[in-house]
Amino acid sequence: MRTRPTLTWEPVAGLPPASTDLAPVVDALRAGGVLVLSGAGLSTESGIPDYRGEHGSLRRHTPMTYQEFTGDPWARQRYWARSQVGRRALTRARPNGGHRAVATLAGAGLLTGVITQNVDGLQQAAGLDDVVELHGSLHRVICLDCGDLTARDALDRRLRAANPGFETAVERRAAASRVNPDGDVELPDEAVAEFRTVPCAVCGGVLKPDVVFFGENVPRERVATCRRLVSEAASLLVLGSSLTVMSGLRFVRQAAQAATPVLILNQGPGRGDALAAHRVGLPLGQALSDVVARLGL
């Protein structure tokens, strides 16, 4: 499966506006067997922008592709320099009410699973360990040569040792730039040129964040796990995703084809809206907190 940098798409015409009625969501959760598919919109209230919302990051930058990262040493240097600064904001981010509500619903046994398209780890930080990270995690680093997996914190220490004073020198300039969903910030080329990358500590190979870049394959076994979860669910609840890329949309299509009800809670239109049995357009943190309260949890 490949994700591509889809920057624009046309909303489905002729659909009624999204509702503010949470009752169908509450009813589905009360019945149990709900599978959650979450996207970047779930983390916006934690200070991490989404890609395509009103203040989405695609309005100011184009995310790096897998082909660019693997084929261009300068692109890798630029990514790691920007990521080294941007991750400070990412690590300061904390779970919001939406993340905590999903963890509460899972703890109450109402969910069969959670698939997240997010790479920020905030759902796990809210106390839910059993999460399928469809697009990986920024908290891990993988070697493209030997496959060694390491914690991003370990790489952070190595990069700081290789670039003493780098973050201090650029932090004022970077502070004016918002962190992107993929964990980096805008930096001038002259700052990037001063940054030194480091190789894999095991084999000396090329390091990459353990996330699925645009243009990269989602591991087949991960896709198979998600398909199984969709096939076993009584309903699918989409939270904060425009479903623009096929990696998430295909699971909504799978559910709809099997007559499994799809409920969408998202601010703004989405590519899967025509497949939804019910759509709600409310801020996720408050809406999900209200759902939890109505369920008496």
Q: Is 144 a domain residue?
A: yes
Residue 12 lies in a domain: no
Indicate the residue among 211, 234, 254 that finishes a domain. 211
Tens-binned pLDDT, residue by residue, of the chain (297 aa): 444 455 566 777 788 899 999 999 999 999 999 999 999 999 999 988 765 444 444 444 567 899 999 999 999 999 999 898 888 778 889 999 999 999 999 999 999 999 999 999 999 999 998 999 999 999 999 999 999 999 999 999 999 999 998 877 666 555 445 566 565 677 888 888 999 999 999 999 999 999 999 889 899 999 999 999 999 999 999 999 999 888 999 999 999 999 999 999 999 999 999 999 999 999 999 999 999 999 999
Query: What are the start-end ranges of the H helices in 41-146?
Result: 66-71, 73-92, 97-107, 122-125
- Domain at 201, CATH number: 3.30.1600
Domain that holds residue 237: 1-6+19-48+95-135+215-297
The answer to whether residues 76 and 143 belong to one domain is yes
Distance CA 20, CA 265 (A): 9
**Together in a domain, 176 and 222:** no
- Indicate if 243 and 178 belong to the same structural domain: no
Give me the catalytic one of 55, 61, 99, 135: 135
Residue 11 domain-assigned (yes or no) = no
Q: How many domains does the chain have?
A: 2
The verdict on whether 61 is a catalytic residue reads no
CATH code at 127?
3.40.50.1220
pTM listed for this prediction = 0.89
Backbone φ, ψ for residue 141 (5° rounding): -130, 140
Cα 291 to Cα 297: distance, rounded to the nearest angstrom? 9
Residue 130 belongs to a domain? yes
Q: Do 78 and 43 sit in the same domain of this protein?
A: no
Same domain, 113 and 259: yes
Query: Do 145 and 42 fall into the same domain?
Result: no
